Amino acid sequence: MTIDDFAVPLLAVRDLRKIYQVRGEKRKTADFVAVDSISFDIDKGETFGLIGESGSGKTTTGRMVLALEKASSGSVLFEGNDITAMNELDMRRYRKRMQIVFQDSGSAFNPRRSVGAQIGFALQRFGMAPKDGIRDLVLDMLGRVGMEASHYDRYIHEFSGGQRQRLGIARALITNPDFLVLDEPTAALDVSVQAQILNLLKDLQSERELTMLLISHNLALVEHMCDNAGVLDHGSLVESGSVDDLLTAPRTAITRSLVDAVLEPATAASR
Ligand SMILES: Nc1ncnc2c1ncn2[C@@H]1O[C@H](COP(=O)(O)OP(=O)(O)OP(=O)(O)O)[C@@H](O)[C@H]1O
Ligand SMILES: [Mg+2]
């Protein structure tokens, strides 16, 4: 063993590429490169931000990283193991260790079943708890995300946007994952509720040593949550590094425009 063996990042993305077949001219199919050979590392316990304008390939990247979307080429190494090359059976071991929270996590709940049963479902699916122990584990988790025991038997339409996100986070964390993809987790929420959810995620992260990939078009949010980040532009990772560097010395026009968007309110106020 060498020193390097201890330095394997939790997640290493290498030359990851996604090509969609789209309808081109004269009804012919054409290749559309949604994600173009991107590479980045995320160390254990770190939150890496992925920033970019709408359509730049953020969600596609997040889904490939979780093997929810098949990569066209390249690799995603989780603890050094390439999950893009795995069959579904081998992937099963990793599924419970990697989870996703997206913008409207409520939409992923079945409207006709109690939210509690759905949060607990993964414990049953992965055989992680005896059937009669699941309810208590879910109630614990509801408490951790700031929800109440009485919410267990309710249905998703009975909750506000912020509460739905808390429920989505509870569902993502119930299997005690090591890695979380957050795809615009607060984009649909009021500013004050956004802050609550982000602080909740930060608390849960330090409690559970979570590693996170935070997808956002909002650099202010990334500044609040991340040490390192990358900027996607039309599928290419045009720069990456520490968030401080991105903010203070942006190297590309696209990063500069994202920085300007963050500074706008302050600039407007000083006029
Ligand atoms: N299934 C698909 N078939 C064809 N093109 C797709 C498909 N899914 C995504 N795309 C295209 O790939 C590009 C990247 O999409 P993606 O959803 O990753 O962007 P994004 O950065 O998450 O955008 P947003 O900020 O709006 O969520 C877009 O141009 C989109 O139209
Ligand atoms: Mg997206």
CB atoms within 10 A of CB 188: 17
Q: In what order do the strands lie in the sheet with 73-78?
A: 29-42, 11-23, 73-78, 81-82
Share of the chain above pLDDT 90, in %: 76
**CB of 54 closer than 6 angstroms to any ligand 1 atom:** yes
CA of 77 to the centre of ligand 1 (A): 23
Give the pLDDT confidence of 165-218 residue by residue, as tens digits. 999 999 999 999 999 999 999 988 888 888 888 998 999 999 989 999 999 988
For residue 262, the model assigns a pLDDT of 78
Which residues line ion ligand 2, judged by CB < 5 Å? 58-59
Ligand 1 binding pocket includes 24 (Cβ within 6 Å): no
- Which is more confidently placed, 13 or 192? 13
pTM, full prediction: 0.92
pLDDT tens for each residue of 217-234? 889 899 999 999 999 999
Q: 17 with 33: CB under 8 angstroms?
A: yes
Closest among 52, 12, 15, 60 to 231, alpha carbons compared:
52
- Where residue 93 falls among pLDDT bands split at 50, 70, 90? confident
Among 104-108, 236-240, 247-251, name the most confident range.
236-240
pLDDT in the model for residue 54 = 93
Residue closest to 143 by CA, chosen among 121, 127, 119: 119
